[in-house]
Chains A and B, each alone.
Chain A
Amino acid sequence: MIKPLSMLKTGERGKIVRIEGGMMVIKRLTDLGFVPEQEVEVIRSAPRGPVAIKIKGAVYALGRGIADKIYVEEVHE
């Protein structure tokens, strides 16, 4: 099921499908490795506020509004 990254809970994983939003944001995210097919792991997520995402070994804080626009397919082990 495809859903925004912000919907994943702490510890869950997903595979990036697409990113919406302005070119600035998309470019900054892709430069950090948020590219289609890439797997991400949610390190910390709360009902509100930013999320911490692990990708390619690095952790990034993403504002909720940004995480809403990154669509992922949930990965189950």
Chain B
Amino acid sequence: MRRKLILFPALVFILFTLTSCWNYREVNEMAIVIGAALDKGLTNNYMLTVELLDVSDGKETQVSTKVLSIEGETVFDAVRKLISIGGKRGYWGHIRVLVISEEIAGENITQVIRFFRQDAEARSDLYIIIAKGCSAKEILHANKTIGRDISTSLAQSLENSQFLSESPPTTLYILSQELKSEISPTLPVVTLLTSEDKTIPIISGAAVFQKTKLAGYLNGDETKAMLFIKNEIKGGVMVTKKDPALISLEILRNNTKIKTQTDGDRITVDITVETKAAIDEVTCNVEFSNLVIFDDIQSLSEAQLKDKLENVIDKARNLRADIFGFGQKIYENDPKKWDEIKDNYEEEFTNIKVNIAVKVEIVNTSFIYKQFE
């Protein structure tokens, strides 16, 4: 009896306390943030623009997007000040993209990404994009193309960029890993394209950082060459010139190996690129059955790819940004040598001897064996 007498109040107590609803939030009480943009503020330090999914309940739950801007002293300050215009507290667990303006990136990118790294709600798989030629705010205000909102279509085009390979799909965690190791980070670039009366955001190219500062840009083609060296190519098109024809090769598989050798003061980097590709398009008749021509295409594309790689290395040297991670490789293979040169690495990077060996293997010619006459 006594047992029951004690058990009953205990059960009632548990009923009310263990419902785990201490800080519950209903979905219609939160404003789901799916994308954010950061600019320098006019009156305060930062201007935060967010794209919100607004869930309104009614007969049928309706989802609409809204874009709001607010200024704040720090990023988190601005995040919380959003309540004063939006009314609801933002939920940052679903954020997909963060657009950062050139101005902030030119000063120091880490000043704004620290919040997203530290906050427990935001996740580290969000994409960081640099807005080129316009403010970050304008990107989120641009016209939608396909899909419901700008942020998702930006995130999707980065997710699918492995079939295009013209922009590095850098997420927050890759960025923080690169910032912590000896690689200069590269971020995808978004620009605004005005056609007719619409402005459409397009993603192409890469922004090159010198440690934490924006140093310059690579265009789509150069980005592809950079991804070749970083062994991050998963697909994409490689156009080979064979006068007068242009031949499109689809990259099927790629494997790049980087080896470093230190010989006294001299550092050599050997890059071996092995690509398997398929011919998917030729602009005029090419006789595939002629094996000499076929070999010719292979060696031509090898030479042209090698040119592109050398080009992008030169460009990176001009920007003094080791975007390929040669420094990291030297550190991994010879940490003692790295200790010697690391203080002066920017200078050293321009003097590294780079040997490139490219091997393109054309596996097939897709569907067609013989072309039009």
Bound pair: A and B? no
Residues of B within 8 A of A (CB): none
Residues of A within 8 A of B (CB): none
